[in-house]
Amino acid sequence: MALILDTGPVYALLDRDDLDHAVSRQLIESAVEPLVIPAPVLVEVDYLVRIRLHAGVMISFLDDVVENAYSIEELRAEDYRRVRELCDLYSDSDIGFVDAAVLAVVERLNEPKLATLDHRHFGMLRPRHVDALRLLPD
């Protein structure tokens, strides 16, 4: 088992002024299972950090990645097929590549939960392996 992290909680952890900082920090720091970040999430986090904070925040976060505080899950060929399927299936719902990639990784790793602040999108998505994902924080 692992706790898979979407962009929202990772960014909120890094931004002390974010309204979700405290709840995201508590969720991530209290996790007993490995923390897994789908690789596309890093790109979104980097973008948000660069436009809202400063590059040093991302560099510090990457130090944590290098020190294995987080495991980065790269996409596989079958994930790209699933991403394409999800983008097509939800084309009218503003589900983008990163959200679809996160769901593909959650499905492949057979995880019933996801750490995300995007309950609107992920509450709409129907995973293959469970009826609905448990979205954290609750």
Is 36's pLDDT higher than 90?
yes
Assigned token pair, 87: 């983008």
What is the distance in angstroms between the CA of the first residue and the CA of the last residue of the chain? 18
The answer, yes or no, to whether residue 32 has pLDDT greater than 90, is yes
Q: According to the model, what pLDDT value does residue 138 have?
A: 87
Distance CA 30, CA 41 (A): 21
Is residue 98 within 8 Å of residue 7, measured between CB atoms?
A: yes
pLDDT by residue (tens digit) across 78-103? 999 999 999 999 999 989 999 999 99
> To the nearest whole percent, how much of the chain has pLDDT over 90?
98
Q: Domains (ranges, CATH) in the chain? A: 3-136 (3.40.50.1010)
